Structure formats: C-alpha cells, structure tokens
Amino acid sequence: MPVPSLPADDLVVLRPEGLYCPPGDFHIDPWRPVARAVVTHAHADHARRGHGAYLASAPSAGVLRARLGDITLQTLSYGETVCWNGVTVSLHPAGHVLGSAQVRIAHAGRVWVASGDYFTSGVADDTNPTCDPFEPVRCDCFITESTFGLPIYRWRAQAEVFAEVDAWWRSNADAGRASLLLGYSFGKAQRLLAGVDPSIGRIVVHGAVEPLNRAYRDAGVALPETVTLDALRDSADLRRALVVAPPAVLGSAWSRRLGVHGDAFASGWMQLRGARRRQGVDRGFVLSDHADWPGLQRAIAATGAERVIVTHGYEAVMVRWLQQQGLQAGSFQTAFGDDDLLDALPDAAPAAPAAPPA
C-alpha cells in the first residue's frame, strides 16, 4: 500500500536507490550505490558496498569495516548531531544489534525518524544485552519496520527462553553429543553467546561468527570464551560443546564434522507452528532481535508521531491497525529483508500466515 497524497516537501521519500532525504541530499540504508548513505546498522540488507561516503553510529564502526572493508566512514556518538544543507541529523539507539541506530532528521521545524530495524518487546524492561537499548524519539513522522507486525508475534521473557536453551544444551552434553545452535552470524549469534550458561561446556563457533565476536568484544560487549571448529585441538571437547553457527551450515559437510549432535534454530519465526519442521531441526527457540507486535505498538506510541510510514514486514496489517487508531499511515516498499534468514538455506523462510482480521 503506497503512502497516499505525499506532500512535495516530505523529509523522506522513496527513490529507486532507497529512502532519500531531499533537503539534506542523502539516503538512508540505500540498496543501490549513492554518494552519501546514512546506515542504520551493519546487516547486509541495510549496509551495502559501493556508496561514496557512509555515516553511522560510533559503536557500529568495527562491524561495518569488518563486513564492508575499506569505506569512507564518518561516525557519530548517539545523540551527536551533524548538519547537511540545513538538515540536522542525529542517531539514536535502536536496540537491534551492536551500533544499530534510528535516524532523526530535523528541518524547518519538522522532525522525522527512520527506525531501521529495532528491538523492544511487550515484556517490560526486556532488552538486548549486547547493544544499547531502544530509545523512543519524539517526532512528527515515524518510519517503522514491521518484520513481526502480526498479533501472533509476542515474545516471552528472554530469561525463560535461555533457560530452555541451557536445558537443551545440558541434556545433549549429558548424552555426550554436541549442540548445534543456528542463528545469524551478526547480532543473533552474539546475543545467544551472551545469554547462555558457559559453565555447561565449551563454546565453539563457526568461522563466520568469530570475526563479529571480536568486533563486539572490542566495543566492550562481554561474551564468553569461544573457539572455532578449526582451532579446536581435541575433538572430544565437542561431546559437551555448544556450537553456534549460521543457518546455512545445516546438513553441510561442516556440520557433519560435529558427529552425532542435536540441532536447534533461534529465531522469531519459531513462533509459527511448522517453521521448525521446515527447518528440519530438533528444537526451535523463539528469540528475535526485532520488536514483537506489542513492542511495535509501544514504540510507535512513544514517538508521539501523528503520521507513520511502515516498511518491510507485514505492512498492510500494520497500516490498517494504525489507521484504526486515527493516525495517518501508509507504507514504503523497500528492499529490506529479515536478518534472521539472510544467510539461511534458500527454502528457509517460513510461509507467512494469513493476515488476521482487524
């Protein structure tokens, strides 16, 4: 559903390259090469190679450079401002992954905020321990994601989920087999590492995960000791190990090196019955770095925005709900995806459930 009757002086519009701020002459998370890109976070669908210059949060610098290489990067601390062509830009915590930021744009007395991806849930004070928590920013117009924008998505307290992960790992360890826990290499893997009980056994990670672990540790995030499978000296250590790896390893030659093992997938999609079966894993743990349905509602309300533009996810459902609340709402059709599944197998994405009645 396109945004109806867009005023000509909107602070953010949709162009073929991505979201664009006309008075500031910059793009936000563009999917085609542009001269100046403001990047909300380092996931591959938001941070792409080929831009002339990048602006991002200071905490995201290490991860961005690890993923994009030698780029022309300017960083801002959260809340710090820069002014381009009379437009004041600042970045504010999104709670999604290390360095994730919302983009606040102020010009001619108006304030718009582009959220990027963000995490806040219906569980009070439940935040992602590996990054700065989501900070509501007051604005006139809020551009929000809606990855899990259906009422069925309601996250449980993280402590409960990690207690289940630990129990599964401990059961496998007692049986003398490794526990393969699948999650996206950047963000999800580090959140899993920060949440499990390292006293159960050794923690082994895939080679794609370890460079991101270093970036997190360099940024001051506490993670337990990890070792890559290639660096593991004694294969007997695998019998009690937790192995954290991206979903693409499932059924691969790499995973067969683990011998007999249990496997599980940590993702918000595990909320859906049948998603675990399609993944072909023993267990599914419902853990997402995106806001759930109550979290989206709380975040939008906290901005005080009278106008909301919905991007990737269940846009039509969210737009309809917002309009029922008396807000001016529409959507942008973007090229953003779901980082839970970016490096999963081609058939990993679960079928979307039918939209529920309003």
Q: What is the pLDDT of residues 56-81, one digit of tens each?
A: 999 999 999 999 999 999 999 999 99
Rg of the chain over Cα atoms, rounded to whole angstroms, equals: 20
The partner residues of 107 in beta bridges, in order of sequence, read 110
Q: What is the pLDDT of residue 177?
A: 95
Give the whole-angstrom CA distance, residue 113 versus residue 136: 10
Please count the other Cβ atoms lying within 10 Å of the Cβ belonging to residue 158: 17
Give the whole-angstrom CA distance, residue 66 versus residue 207: 13
Assigned CATH for 13-153+290-331: 3.60.15.10
Domain ranges for the chain: 13-153+290-331, 158-285
Q: What is the pLDDT of residue 232?
A: 86
Please count the other Cβ atoms lying within 10 Å of the Cβ belonging to residue 302: 15
pTM value? 0.91
Q: Give the CA angle between residues 70, 71, 77 to the nearest 5°.
A: 120
- β-pairing, 178-182 vs 203-205, is unpaired
Q: What is the pLDDT of residue 7?
A: 53
Q: Do domains 13-153+290-331 and 158-285 have the same CATH topology?
A: no
DSSP state of 224: -
Q: What is the pLDDT of residue 275?
A: 63
pLDDT of the chain along its 358 residues, tens only? 444 444 558 999 999 999 999 999 999 999 999 999 999 999 999 999 999 999 999 999 999 999 999 999 999 999 999 999 999 999 999 999 999 999 999 999 999 999 999 999 888 888 899 999 999 999 999 999 999 999 999 999 999 999 999 999 999 999 999 999 999 999 999 999 999 999 999 999 999 999 999 999 999 999 999 999 988 877 777 999 999 999 999 999 999 999 999 999 999 999 986 665 666 788 999 999 999 999 999 999 999 999 999 999 999 999 999 999 999 999 999 999 766 554 433 333 333 344 333 3
Q: What is the pLDDT of residue 131?
A: 97
- Kindly report the CATH class assigned to 158-285: alpha beta
